[in-house]
Structure 1
Amino acid sequence: MPARYSAPAALRNRDPILAVLRQFLPPAGLLLEIASGSGEHAVHWARHLPDWTIQPSDAEARARDSIAAHAAEAGLPNLLAPLALDAAAAPWPVDRADAVLCINMIHIAPWAATLGLLAGAARCLAPGAPLLLYGPYRRDGLPTAPSNEAFDADLRRRNPAWGLRRLEDVAAAAAAAGFQPVPAVTEMPANNLTLVFRRG
């Protein structure tokens, strides 16, 4: 069986996320992607952000094999080999980055993974550097889309430690980890959001 696999959601959301990256990233640097999954996003960033070096990572060996296979096919000089990185574990195998990106992880992982992600990103990033989080969220005072409610119920059936997180809880944890307390929030297709936190 080939190592490379494809994630349909990655193909659907990569261009909207790329637009946000172009808006919030500095002109150049090292982008550390946490929980890179299939690797298709990392290839897309490397292809369309040629002044950036892309460092993909994932905790799962199957994902890292897929990332490596996609990277080998793409042959892009600014795409690094994937790192074995568990967001909840410390220390991380990389100690600095100019931006950290995490897509669709925190709702399919225990809350400890979110706390580890925030702590690890705070260790890696210089003051003012961005942490970008993409996915579905709950927001106080706003209705949750029916599709997201159904998704949340499915996640919690699969694992009671999973589920959509309150944006306010993530923002409070980010502030405790050393980020500015109010993120920039960008509405995304399919009832998702991109949150951009700046290192304090």
Structure 2
Amino acid sequence: MSKRTLPSNASVATKGQDGRLVAPAASRNAEVLCDLLARWAPSSGKALEIASGTGQHVCAFAQSLPDLHWQPTEIEAERRASINAYAADLHNVAEADPLDATVRDWHKDYLGQNMIILINLIHLISWPETQIIISEVAQALAPGGRFVLYGPFKRSGTLTSDGDQKFHDALVQQDPEIGYKNDDDIAALMRAQNLTVVEIVEMPANNLAFIAEKPAK
């Protein structure tokens, strides 16, 4: 994933204690995401988080779902250090890997995942990069594995709030290849990769969560 110049509110994190970074958005939505995963996550197995950011989410998930073994990933070294600091006392969180999920063939190193989760990234990358990620996710999942994709999206091609319109416009002004993706296009892309869209969940702050499943053999 190429380094992009993003609006200042696209990925905000401040420095906390012991190398931990604090992202206000992660602090706000960790509880609702834990509730979502409590409904849709497998009870045990391997879970991969793409673009783990500060590590707040993956550590909340690991505590909420202790029988899953979590593999966080993040391309930025400072954020990997933050993830590892948060996870230092958690037995079910591995050291963060420097995965760039927009590069083809990464699935070969992460086969057999029972769940893969991706939070608040798709609007910050291009459509071709989105296609690569979902294709690789489909190949990395074990049969019966689930993919949880969360973030802001257009509904039937339309931005449905003033806040979403302003943020999308700011993203596109910085880089015309990025911005909010359409919900129908995301669902179609998942189906094209032989993933079953089990449910699309309306989430707080006008976000969506796509729950997709790889067919069991």
TM-score, normalized by length of structure 2? 0.85
CA separation in 1, counterparts of 2:143 and 2:93? 25
Pick closer, same or farther for the CA change 1:65–1:42 going to 2, 3 Å. same
Residues 177-197 of structure 1: CA distance to partner in whole angstroms, max 9, x if unpaired? 2212x4411111111111101
Contact (CA 8 Å) 2:114, 2:144: kept in 1 or not? no
Aligned pairs for 1:1-200 (under 5 A) are: 3-72=19-88, 75-92=89-106, 93-140=109-156, 144-180=160-196, 182-200=197-215
Identity %: 37
Residues 19-70 of structure 1: CA distance to partner in whole angstroms, max 9, x if unpaired? 1101111211111000100011011111111111111001222221221122
Letter aligned with residue 46 of structure 1: A
CA separation in 2, counterparts of 1:157 and 1:96? 39
CA separation in 2, counterparts of 1:50 and 1:127? 22
CA-CA distance at 1:141 after TM superposition: 7.4
- Structure 1, 14-23 or 135-144: larger mean CA deviation: 135-144
Residues 101-125 of structure 1: CA distance to partner in whole angstroms, max 9, x if unpaired? 0000000112222112111111111
Letter aligned with residue 92 of structure 2: N
- Structure 1, 62-71 or 17-26: larger mean CA deviation: 62-71
Letter aligned with residue 209 of structure 2: T
List alignment gaps of at least 5 residues for structure 1: none
Paired residue secondary structure (2:148): strand
- Aligned-residue Cα RMSD (Å) equals 1.6
Q: How many corresponding residue pairs?
A: 197
CA separation in 2, counterparts of 1:127 and 1:82? 25
